[in-house]
Amino acid sequence: MINQLLSQYPDAILHVNEMNRRPNCDDKLQFDYYLHSLRKGDRNIQTRTGKQSYLDDNNLVLVREYYGFSTSKAKAVLEILTDDQLEAIRKGLFKGGS
């Protein structure tokens, strides 16, 4: 999985290919290889592995419109709101139509 994520970055492609050629490597060996061969960089792998991104989330737009908050405040509020509260906001902003 980590090979697939790192292959999205141009500076890591050759290193990922090298690890793909050796599928029987131990996880610790692979980790050490990446640790010592890749330069530090802002890769934001955490957002690609399943942590929900706020930018493509419809709920962020709902909270911003409902409360009139900025994006940063809406992100903070989204972490607090429950699914039932979000559904109530969605119903409150529903304008009808098809």
Please check whether residues 64 and 83 belong to one and the same domain. Answer: yes
Residue span of the structural domain in which 67 resides = 58-93
Q: Is residue 87 part of a domain?
A: yes
> For residues 1 and 27, what is the distance between their CA atoms, to the nearest angstrom?
11
Query: Of all helices (H) and strands (E), which one includes residue 49?
Result: none
66 pLDDT above the threshold of 90: yes
Q: Is residue 10 part of a domain?
A: yes
What's the rounded mean pLDDT across residues 44-64?
67
Please check whether residues 41 and 12 belong to one and the same domain. Answer: yes
What's the rounded mean pLDDT across residues 64-84?
90
- Mean pLDDT of all residues belonging to the chain: 83
Number of domains in the chain: 2
Q: Is residue 53 part of a domain?
A: no
65 pLDDT above the threshold of 70: yes
**How many CB atoms sit inside 10 A of residue 54's CB?**
17
What's the rounded mean pLDDT across residues 33-54?
70
Please check whether residues 37 and 71 belong to one and the same domain. Answer: no
pTM for the whole structure: 0.44
